[in-house]
Amino acid sequence: MKCAPFDYVCANSVEEVVKVLGEADGDGKILAGGQSLVPVLALRMARPSVLVDVNRVPGMGRIRPVEGAVEVGALVRHSQLVEQTHHPLLAEAARWIGHTAIRTRGTTGGSIAHADPSAELPVVAVGVGASATVAGPTGERTVAADELFVSALVTSLDDDEMIVGVRFPLPTRWGFAEFSRRHGDFALVTAVVAEVDGRVRITLGGVAAVPQRALAAEQVLADEGTAHDAARAAAAEIDPTADLHGSAPFRRAIAGEMVRRALVRAGIE
C-alpha cells in the first residue's frame, strides 16, 4: 500500500520541530530513521497530516560520556551504538536490533519514542534508570524512563514534544539476553540485568505492554538468593499474554531462562 497524503517539512532546529508539531494540533509525526514509522504509514495504520524530518537538526547525533553515564543524542543510529565503547550494555543490546540496514538508519530517539514492547532500547532504558531530555514549547524537561512508557506504542510525551537525547547511567555489572525465532526478528523476551548504585535491577521486555521490572526477583538477589532463585521469581511474577508466537506459559518459561542467562553474564550465579 501507499502512504496517505501528507505535508513534508524538513526542520533545521528543535524549535522549528516543536513549532510545526504544535501547529499540526496532534496530527504531526517526526521522521528520523523511519524504520518504524514508514511501515506504519504504508499500511495506513497512521495518517498524519504532516511529517517533520529532523535529520538536519544539528547537535542530536553525538554520543558523549558524562560522569557515571553516557548521553546519546536522539539521532544517534543503532550502528553507532554498536560501535561505541563507552556503554558496553548499549552496544550489546544494539547488536540485536533488526538487521544491518535497519541499524544503519534507525535512531535512538525514534526507538525510545516508538515504545515498542519488543524493542531492545526501551528495556535497557528502564533497566539502567535512563532519562530522556524532551523539548517542547516551554523549553526542555527531563522524563525518567519509568515514567516515559505508558503502554504499547504510547508514551507520556505531548503531541508537540520531541526527545532530543537520552542519558543512560553506566552499570557496574550488566547482562543481556534475548530470545527470538530468528536473528533479526522481534524479540519474544528480552532480559536486562544492570547493577546501578549498588543494586541489581532486572528488567524484562516482550512480556507486557511496557518494559517490566522484576521487583520480586531483585529482592531475591538482595536477600542473597541465587541466579536460579531470582529467575524462578521473575517468571512467577509476570503475567504475559499469549499470541501467535507462543502461549503465556511458554513466554513465562523463556523469561525465566533469559533472566538466568543475563544474571550469569553479569557474574551473578
Q: Are 27 and 7 in contact (CB under 8 A)?
A: no
Length, in residues, of the chain:
269
pLDDT greater than 90 at residue 56: yes
DSSP 77: B
Tell me the per-residue pLDDT of 105-134, one tens digit each, with 9 for 90 and over.
999 999 999 999 999 999 999 999 999 999
CATH number listed for the domain at residues 63-169 = 3.30.465.10
Distance CA 192, CA 171 (A): 11
- Which pLDDT does position 40 carry in this prediction? 92
User: Given a cut of 90, is residue 245 above it in pLDDT?
Assistant: no
Q: Give me the mean pLDDT over the 59-74 stretch.
A: 98
CA 195 to chain centre: 18
**What is the per-residue pLDDT for 2?**
85
What beta strand segments (E) does the chain contain? Answer: 7-10, 28-31, 50-53, 63-66, 69-73, 131-136, 139-144, 149-151, 154-155, 162-169, 173-179, 189-196, 199-205, 212-213
7-53 folds as 3.30.43
Which uninterrupted H or E stretch holds 108?
helix 108-114
Q: The cell 533472566 sits on which residue?
A: 259
CB 162 within 8 A of CB 177: no
Residue 170's nearest CA partner among 60, 66, 61 is 66
Domain residue spans in the chain? Answer: 7-53, 63-169, 173-265
Please give the model's pTM, rounded to 2 decimal places.
0.97
Q: Which residues contact 98 (CB under 8 A, 6 or more apart)?
A: 35, 78, 106, 184
Under DSSP, is residue 203 helix (H, G, I), strand (E, B) or coil?
A: strand
Residue 242 pLDDT > 90: no
What's the CATH fold of domain 173-265?
Enolase-like; domain 1 (3.30.390)
Instruction: Compute the average pLDDT of residues 139-146.
Output: 98
pLDDT mean across residues, the chain: 97
CA distance 25 to 252: 41
Spatial separation of the C-alpha atoms in residues 266 and 269, rounded to whole Å: 9
Secondary structure (3-state) at 124: helix
In this structure, is the dihedral angle defined by the CA atoms of residues 43, 243, 35 and 157, taken in order, positive or negative? positive
Write the CB contacts of 66 (distance below 8 Å, at least 6 apart in sequence). 167
> Cell numbers at residue 100, please?
544491518
